[in-house]
Structure 1
Amino acid sequence: MKLSYFPGCSLQTSAREFDLSARAVCGELDLELVELPDWNCCGATSAHSLNHELGLTLPARNLGLAQETGLDLVASCSACYNRLKSADYALKTNPAQAGAMRQKTGLDFDQNLHVLSLLEAVTTRIGIERIKQRVSRPLKNLKVVCYYGCLLVRPPRVTAFDSPEFPVSMDRLMAALGAEPLQWSYKTDCCGASLSICDSRTVRNMVNNLLQMAAETGANAVVTACTLCHANLEMRRDPSRTMPVFYFTELMGLAFGLSACAGWLHRHLVDPFPVLAPVLAV
């Protein structure tokens, strides 16, 4: 199976471990991620906030490039996914807008392209049962809360994936890996996103509230699919809070017994190894 792959800016820099783990675990499951040639920034967050036309043109160009590959398009970063999916929705529901984008980009768009988040691709195109069969080192003793953030499943008319209020796909994935996903009411709460640049105090309050609520469930780790959520949860917390945050692909790699996992985890700002010690000892 092949999918056209949009890594986005953050997976080439601050979230490199997400990119590396995504490529590794998808390769183990015979899903080939074919990097989109000559891709450009999707415009998150500033472009669509400042200039509507630019905010549509940037992701539309990537959609046109994906159309030329003949493959459906997958994005790892939730913000990238949301911008690409929103542009795809706009072009499919507004013929005049699609025509304007054809003139602007010189690329074509039609109804056949499907835009997926990496979580959606893994859980629907590969499937939970197949993933479960690949597990060689179940993540016993690891209690997690799954944090989807506010962009992965919203707005529902655009994303059309999982529940916008109480999604479960990542929870099902974690259970298949042998971890224990705990229920909490903050799955889709906002982490503060790019507000961390201009109002870090507010974001610190939001992040520490999320980590406090995670701790109260009895979890010893947070799992996410969003690079900005991961960054805020690591960078904007109080120093006394030591709960690690994982990308779901990293935990897939651990459960698959991949040797490259240590390299990904050493990139974290919050040391994840104390929490993983009892998991890896089993």
Structure 2
Amino acid sequence: MLSNVFLKTLYEKRIAIIGWAIGILLAIIGVGVMFPSIKEIFGSQMAQIPKEFQGWFGENGNMMSSFKGYVATELVGNVGIMLVIQAIIFGSSLLAGDEENNVLQPLLTLPISRRSIYAQKWAALAVINLTLVIVWAIAVEIAALLVHETVGFNILFRIGIVFFLTNLALATIAYSIGAMTGKRSAGGIFIGVYAFLAYFINALAGQGDVVKTLNQLSIFKYAGYIELSSHTILFGNIVVIVVALIIFYVLGLLIFSRRDIQMN
């Protein structure tokens, strides 16, 4: 029974996982094959874009002139936001959704601890996120082939690793808040608003000291996708992301293990 909670969760979400995978595949390939045209546009028009908005496209927009830069800025930073959205949706619903639908309560009558349920559902959440990041990476490679470009395996690997950890951290925060409150809307709304603000603050971090200070609270600052296209992973940044993940995982586990489960 212990392993079945993990497998059952994945089985129940199989249609949603497949749907997200197809959507991500099509979106990444669709935007990826636009690279030649976008490269020309940015090569001739970047000077006309206000300086404060050039940060969206890498430093001075020069990242858009190479496919690896395009991957880091557009296929992760912009279109890749789809994976952030799915992480929040799955994270906020896997446990709290079962409680709201009165599915969790019968499960707790079986000889299985709350901690095991919490851990196995989180493990399913991690597998879902890993699967969709792999789909994203495959889509990037397909797009590269279609436009006769290449992305070094080491670049794609390190971006993929950080992409996975960042999304899993956001998913875990949503999962934890849902576990603590029994309400999927609590985790979804909180982390959704945070991710939205963190994304824009990070994009505009160069626009003043106040924004730069606020950016210290943005998880996307520590993800640093643009830098990963030409530099190795910074260990300190990974530590920040993983520590945030662990803190919320443990906090959710402790409160979920002790609170009353609601009947709706």
Instruction: Please confirm whether the aligned pair reaches a TM-score higher than 0.5, indicating the same fold.
Output: no
Query: Greater helix percent: which structure?
Result: 2
Give the TM-score normalised by the residue count of structure 1.
Answer: 0.25
Larger gyration radius, structure 1 or structure 2: 2
